[in-house]
Amino acid sequence: MKLKDTIWCDGCGVEVLWTPVHANQRDYCCEDCRDGYACNCGTRMEEDEYPRAGSAGANETVVDEMSL
């Protein structure tokens, strides 16, 4: 599902901050969601050190954005 510039996974509902997996005119966070299996993308996003597309260089990791 797309809401302006935000993409939400049609499988688990997580906000997709990376390139989504497309299938049957739907957007998914990963292949597991596309195939109907449980995924851990939401848990991965909640970790303190998670590289985010577009917000850090290729070799950088965003650490604790809330304290900036």
Q: Residue 43: which pLDDT band, with cuts at 50, 70 and 90? A: confident
What does DSSP say about strands 26-28 and 21-23: parallel, antiparallel, or unpaired?
A: antiparallel
Mean pLDDT value across residues 21-46: 90
The total of other beta-carbon atoms located within 10 Å of residue 10's CB is 18
Say which residue, 63 or 44, is predicted with more confidence: 44
Nearest alpha carbon to residue 53 among 31, 26, 29, 33: 29
Q: Please report which helix (H) or strand (E) contains residue 26, including its range.
A: strand 26-28
Question: 33: number of CA atoms within 13 Å, CB side?
Answer: 23
Verdict on whether the full-model pTM lies above 0.85: no
- Domain with 54 in it: 2-67
Q: How many domains does the chain have?
A: 1
Nearest to 14 by CA among 23, 6, 24, 22: 6
Q: What is the pLDDT of residue 24?
A: 94
Instruction: Please give the residue that has the higher pLDDT: either 15 or 59.
Output: 15
